Structure 1
């Protein structure tokens, strides 16, 4: 009996090892179509600064020799705290309203939607010159957030410290793809004024670097689809559990009928 069991299990184990090695060799490495001699010749997409959108949260800092006026603006930003997505964290800053405007103490309402942070900084500085002496202005996104879900090590939403964020940066923050992630079919979902825009990437192809979607924008979502192997494994586990439940139920019924 033991001999027959070994005879059945050994080929099955060898087949599983061969299948898993084929999966790792064929789909785990990135950018397999780049010859080593061409590593320094890859074209890369130009970075385009993201523009301010309604519901964005901005950190606006104005410094000047007139400390009283400067403090009133910066204290307003500190007091203007909002709850971030999910209600987990409070952040400070000025919220861009539905009309694309923010309201600053002393300076009043200003339309910033559609501008980059650099353009917004120049606009605020010009208006501040009417009230303050030699003002210096800093504007940055507080809620520059991207979400990575699916077959990655740490699926979550991540707030980025910089506006210059690439697809690879986001994947790295999420702990890279698992061995079950489909590297040839990564989905990017982007919210635009016209609606949702969906783009698929192939991480095995160096053309990713030259894609206009290589650099991310605020609130982008990256979804890594599970491979057929992962889906089959999950289905197998589910069927195995159903078989165990059915076996237990049959045993219970058999015991009851014999009482």
Structure 2
């Protein structure tokens, strides 16, 4: 094959490759690029609040062990019983009015409070019966879902009520190189409505986003970039591209023979 044929074949292959791939800009991949923004992000101002459907594990402690028994309905001082995932610790589901029914006290409204506020409020109620009680509380069904261009998409159960958007992405193995960091979607249910928030993780101001600290049942979605979309199209039509490339090469070879 002459040098001209080689050049034409290489040019055809180059055109095909360029049509199927694209280059990524460094600024599209780096998180929290420098700017003059002064950051002041507070978890407490964005802490998740208890809502209907939340399942709580609650245990009461005190110096007088026997005094706590009516509240715990089990001996929390048994080996491992203070662990929040212990199946013997009773659970309490917040009803549509934001209440739970707690032993000896009755109906207690916890909906709308943060976990720390709920613990303090319940401690005040229990203090009417026990001297200096302690309250342990966790949200049993606190979960978030991460989907899209991440290494390990899925639903993750969180042991505590504090998790940031970055930590959630970390649980999912971080974004793939094809994930759009400038337009991460967070879907949140608030007051019966589903609201959408967009976060640009290439900017430091994303640390002040109202969804930087996630709440129970949040869904995080990382959309694919153009290169990923084009790659998907190319993969689906690989045989067509190969056939066209072969045809072009054959025609060129005949012409320049």
Please tell me the TM-score bracket, short chain as reference: 0.7 to 0.9
Unaligned runs of 5+ in 1: 80-90, 245-259
Q: 1:97-154: per-residue Cα shift (whole Å, max 9, x none)?
A: 2221112222222111111212211221122123323311122222222111000011
Residue-pair matches, total: 230
Instruction: Report what 2:204 is aligned to.
Output: 206
CA distance in 2, matches of 1:126, 1:242: 72
Cα offset, 1:165, TM superposition: 1.9
SS at 1:162 equivalent? coil
Flag the 1:232–1:19 CA change in 2: closer, same or farther, 3 A. Answer: closer
**In the alignment, which of 91, 94, 117 is matched to residue 92 of structure 2?**
94
1:138 aligns with 2:139: no
- Measured in 2, the distance between the counterparts of 1:77 and 1:216 equals 34
Structure 2 residue ranges without an equivalent (≥5): 82-88, 243-257
* Alignment correspondent of 1:27: 28
| C-alpha contact (below 8 Å) 2:99/2:108 kept by paired residues | yes
Cα offset, 1:18, TM superposition: 11
Contact 2:21/2:231 (<8 A) preserved: no
Judge conservation of contact 1:77–1:94 (CA < 8 Å) in 2.
no
Corresponding residue of 1:153:
151
- Structure 1's 44 and 153: CA in aligned 2 closer, same or farther, altered over 3 A? farther
Match of 2:215 in 1: 217
**1:188 and 1:217 mapped to 2: Cα distance?**
10
Partner of 2:118: 120
What's the TM-score once normalised by structure 1's chain length? 0.74
Q: Deviations over 1:164-185 (max 9, x none)?
A: 3221111111111101111111
- 1:64 aligns with 62
Evaluate the alpha carbon distance shift between residue 209 and residue 22 of structure 1 in structure 2; reply closer, same or farther with a 3 A threshold. Answer: same
Q: Is the Cα–Cα contact under 8 Å of residues 60 and 77 in structure 1 kept in the other structure?
A: no
Q: Counterpart in 2 of 1:88?
A: none
8 Å CA contact retained: 1:76, 1:105: no
Q: Which of 28, 39, 42 is the matching residue for 1:43?
A: 39
Higher relative contact order (CA 8 A, sep 6+): 2
CA distance in 1, matches of 2:239, 2:55: 48
SS at match of 2:161: coil
Higher strand share: 1
Greater helix fraction, Structure 1 or Structure 2: 1
Q: Could you tell me whether the CA contact under 8 Å between 1:24 and 1:179 is conserved in 2?
A: no
Matches within 5 A, 1:183-198: 183-198=181-196
In structure 2, C-alpha distance between the alignment counterparts of 1:231 and 1:127, rounded to whole Å: 57
Moved more, 63-72 or 147-156: 63-72
Distance (whole Å) between structure 2 residues aligned to residue 228 and residue 76 of structure 1:
57
TM-score (norm 2): 0.75
